[in-house]
Structure 1
Amino acid sequence: MSALKVLQLTDLHILPRAGDKMLGIDTEQYFQKTLAHAHATHGGFDLILLTGDLGQDPSADSYRRICRHLQTYATPCLCLPGNHDDWKLMETELNEGFVSCRKHLLLKNWQIIALNSQKPASPVGLVTREELVFLEQTLAANQMPALLAVHHHCIASQSDWMDTMKIENGKELLAVAECFPQVKAITCGHLHQEMQTSYKHMAIFAAPASCFQFKPFATEFELDSLPPGYRIFELFEDGSLHSDCHRVPIGMSALQINVHSY
C-alpha cells in the first residue's frame, strides 16, 4: 500500500547570528545535520513539517537561514509557530518557494492542519477561540483523513515541569477533534522528547528536538544525553498511519546545563 512520507522536525532554536551556541551547541548546525540524516537514511519526503520554536530570540536573518536550508531539499515545507517564535516575522520570511506557513494543506487523500498554540508573552500553550473555529470549520468541510499539528502538547506528558506549559485549554482542542472521526492523529513539539499515546480514536505524538533533549518524567528542568532526532509519518491511502522516531549519531557531551537559557 503506497503511503505519504512526512518528516517532522521541531524545536530548532536557531539563534540570531550564524555560529552562535545555546547550551554549548550550534543549534543551526544540528538542524542541518538532522535534515541531512533524515534524507540520507530515509530518502525523499512528500512534506517536511516544522512544529515550532524554529527560532530562539528570532530575527529576520535566522528565519531566512532556516528557509535557505529547507529550500535545498525541494520538498514542500509547512512551518507553524512555537512559544519562542515571532509569528508575523515567520509569515514574512518563511513563505518562499517550497516553504510556507499555510494552515491547511491537502496531500493526495490526506489533509494536514496546522494550529497556532502561542499565548502572548508566555511559554504556556493556548488555542484561541478563532483557532478552534478554524479547526471545526475545516474538518466539517473536508472528510479526508487528517493529521493535526501544533507546537504545545494537549495532554500530560508525565514530565511535571513541562506539563505546566502544555495547552491550557487542551480539553477544548480535544473536544473539537474527537467530534470528527477523520482526525487520525495530533502531533506536537515543545517537549524535546518522544511521546506516543492515544486519546479516544486519535493517536497523540511528540517528536524529539533537532537540538538538545529534555529528560522524560523529570519534575524540573533536566537535559537528556540523547542526540537530536526527528519523527517520520507514513500516511496510508486507507486512513491508517505509522510513525517512528529516529536519532542522529551526534555526541552530546558538550551540553552546558543552564536553565535560564531555555
Structure 2
Amino acid sequence: MATPHQTASRTDRPAGTRLLVQLTDCHIRADGGFTYDGIDTRESLQEVMALMQARHGLPDAVALTGDLSDDGSQAAYAWLRRCLTTLAVPAYCIPGNHDDAEMLRAVLPGDNVHVTDWAELGGWQLVLLSSAVAGREGGSLGRGGQDTLSGLLRFAGHAPTLVLLHHPPVPVGSPWLDTMCLDDAEAFFEVIDRHPNVRAVVFGHIHQIYDETREHARLLGTPSTCAQFTPKTERHVKDLQTAGYRWFLLRADGDWETGIERLP
C-alpha cells in the first residue's frame, strides 16, 4: 500500500490512473457553530479538504457517502454545495440517515456537484446507492435499490467497480452501531457475489476505519470528517483519533490502492 507521499497529485500521477477521495459523515448544520462531540463540523470539513489538497493536490473526483448534513436543512446543503464547488472536480453525493434526502437532491446538484447512482472514472465504474430510510437510523436498499444495483452491475460488464453506500452491510463489532446496519444485506450480497468485478464495497456511518474482505470484494469503512467513534464498544464512545478521509488510486488495468489520511 502506498504511503501518503507516494500518492501523487493529478499532475504527476502515472498516465491512466485516477484519484478518488471519499468524504463521509460531515454532519453540517444550518448554524455555523454546531459541534459534534466537541468538533466544529464545518471547520473540520474545511481542514480535511485542505489536508487532501496538501497531500494529493486536487483529486479527479470526490464521493460523499452520507450524513452530509446533521439537520437536513436547506442552509446546510447550500453551504456544503459552496464548499464543494470550490474544488472544481466532480463531487458525487448520496444521503445518510441524518440527511433529508429530498432536500439534498433539491439543493446540492449543480456545477460540479452531482446526486446520481452511477459515475465513470478512468474506466472504473462507481455505483452510488441510497440506503437512507426516512425516520430510521438503520438502512435499507429496498427492492428498488436492489434492482438498481443489479442493473448497474450488469451495465458495468467486466469493468472494475466500486459500490458506495452509507450504511455498513456487515456488523462492525460495536453492538450499538450494529443495530443500524443495512437491513437487507443478504439480498445486497446476493447481487455483489455474482459480480467479481466489484473490487470494494465502500461505506460511511461508523465514523471509524473498517477493512475486511468478503469473497472478491473488500469492505471498507472510513473515518468521519468530524468526530470519531471508538471501535468495539457497547455504546457510543468518542475516539480521540482525528478526522480524515479515504483515498483510492485507481489504475486502468483494474489494479488499485487505498489508504486513510487524518488531520495532525
Asked if these proteins are the same fold (TM beyond 0.5), I'd say: yes
What amino acid is aligned across from residue 57 of structure 1 in structure 2? D
2:72 and 2:134 map into 1 onto residues whose CA distance is: 15
1:224 equivalent in alignment to 2:261: no
1:14 and 1:107 map into 2 onto residues whose CA distance is: 27
Pairing partner for 2:88 from 70, 74, 90 = 74
Pairing partner for 1:153 from 140, 143, 168 = 168
Quote the RMSD (CA, aligned, Å). 1.0
What amino acid is aligned across from residue 214 of structure 1 in structure 2? F
1:209 and 1:183 map into 2 onto residues whose CA distance is: 24
Contact 1:145 1:239 in 2 (8 A): yes
2:251 and 2:173 map into 1 onto residues whose CA distance is: 30
How far apart are residue 119 of structure 1 and its match?
Answer: 2.1
1:220 and 1:87 map into 2 onto residues whose CA distance is: 27
1:245 equivalent in alignment to 2:260: yes
Structure 2 counterpart of 1:235: 250
How far apart are residue 20 of structure 1 and its match?
Answer: 2.5
Deviations 1:128-185 (A, max 9, x none): 1101001111111222211000000001211121111110111211110110121111
Structure 2 length as normaliser, TM-score? 0.92
1:180 and 1:20 map into 2 onto residues whose CA distance is: 42
Look up the SS of the partner of 2:36 in the other structure: coil
1:121 and 1:40 map into 2 onto residues whose CA distance is: 38
2:177 and 2:17 map into 1 onto residues whose CA distance is: 33
Structure 2 counterpart of 1:256: none
1:183 equivalent in alignment to 2:198: yes
Structure 1 counterpart of 2:72: 58
Deviating more after overlay: 166-175 vs 187-196? 166-175
| 5+ residue gaps, structure 1 | 250-262
2:194 and 2:36 map into 1 onto residues whose CA distance is: 41
Which runs of structure 2 are paired with 1:29-178 in the superposition (5 Å)? 29-143=43-157, 144-178=159-193
1:201 and 1:23 map into 2 onto residues whose CA distance is: 36
State the identity as a percent: 33
2:172 and 2:253 map into 1 onto residues whose CA distance is: 29
2:255 and 2:102 map into 1 onto residues whose CA distance is: 35
Structure 1 length as normaliser, TM-score? 0.93
Structure 1 counterpart of 2:223: 208
What amino acid is aligned across from residue 60 of structure 2 in structure 1? D
Aligned length: 249
How far apart are residue 22 of structure 1 and its match?
Answer: 2.8
Structure 1 counterpart of 2:208: 193
1:164 and 1:179 map into 2 onto residues whose CA distance is: 27
